[in-house]
Structure 1
Amino acid sequence: MTVHIKRIYDEKSPDDGKRILVDRLWPRGISKVSAELDLWPKALSPSTDLRRWYHQDEAMASRWNEFKQRYLQEIQPHQAELEQLRAWEKEEPLTLLTAAKHMDKNHAHILKALILNTSLEI
């Protein structure tokens, strides 16, 4: 199947399949009803400390490689949650939702690669 990455503020699509919020904090301006989530696995989101560290540098690109490594270490103990997403992905599309402003380099891309058991291309 497919794993999409979208901002939670984007319009819902019939192609979304299971909708999963991958942020630790609830996004501003979104109600729980309007989000129409299937899952909110906070354990698979970056810790508050890691998120703050990554966003300290406005360019963030200089911290991307270290962020990836630290994020992978953080979610290592949460394989059951990751396996649930892998099982769902075999049955229908998944959409990983985030409030991240920078959609090119964020934790959702790392999580997508883990779900699909592929290497990260960014």
Structure 2
Amino acid sequence: MKVSIKRVYEPASRSDGKRVLVDRIWPRGLTKEAASVDLWLKDVAPSTALRKWFGHDPEKWQAFQDKYKAELEGSSALAELRSLARESRLTLVFAARDEAHNNAVVLKDILEHSG
């Protein structure tokens, strides 16, 4: 299973495979063509309440990961993502400026460690 993550503002490349936007909100200032996503899986994103609570604060990172994983338990959107990851190369695209502390990082970890 090959999963990578990339900011949606970076140019798409053939090596990305299937590009899945994993944010609840469409990236600011980006057209659908420029985003070049194959699928927008809003339901795999953190809830609005969790996203606002976290606010990309690195001090809340561990708690965010725990709360987000709890939100994802039994999620049909996560099951769909797992299925896509098994089928082909997958790139999770996200809009956050912080490339180390965002939901795509958590999703990649889940996918790589759940088989």
Q: TM-score, normalised to structure 2's length?
A: 0.90
Give the aligned CA root-mean-square deviation in angstroms. 1.5
Structure 1 counterpart of 2:71: 74
Where 2:5 maps in the other structure, the secondary structure is strand
- Code of the residue aligned with 2:85 in structure 1: it is E
Contact 1:20 1:39 in 2 (8 A): yes
Cα distance in 2 for partners of 1:98, 1:61 equals 17
Q: CA deviation at 1:86?
A: 1.9
Structure 1 counterpart of 2:2: 2
Cα distance in 2 for partners of 1:104, 1:24 equals 18
Q: Are 1:27 and 2:27 counterparts?
A: yes
- Code of the residue aligned with 1:108 in structure 2: it is A
Structure 1 counterpart of 2:50: 50
Q: TM-score, normalised to structure 1's length?
A: 0.85
Instruction: List alignment gaps of at least 5 residues for structure 1.
Output: none
Cα distance in 2 for partners of 1:69, 1:75 equals 10
Cα distance in 1 for partners of 2:27, 2:62 equals 25
Cα distance in 1 for partners of 2:107, 2:11 equals 22
Please list the CA deviations of residues 21-47 of structure 1 after superposition, one character each: whole Å capped at 9, or x if unmatched.
011000011111222222111111011
Instruction: List alignment gaps of at least 5 residues for structure 2.
Output: none
Where 1:49 maps in the other structure, the secondary structure is helix
- Code of the residue aligned with 1:70 in structure 2: it is K
Cα distance in 1 for partners of 2:106, 2:70 equals 12
Percent identical across equivalent pairs?
A: 42
* Map 1:1-122 → 2, pairs under 5 A: 1-55=1-55, 60-78=57-75, 80-117=76-113
Matched pairs, number: 114
Cα distance in 1 for partners of 2:23, 2:9 equals 13
Cα distance in 2 for partners of 1:53, 1:84 equals 26
Contact 1:43 1:75 in 2 (8 A): no
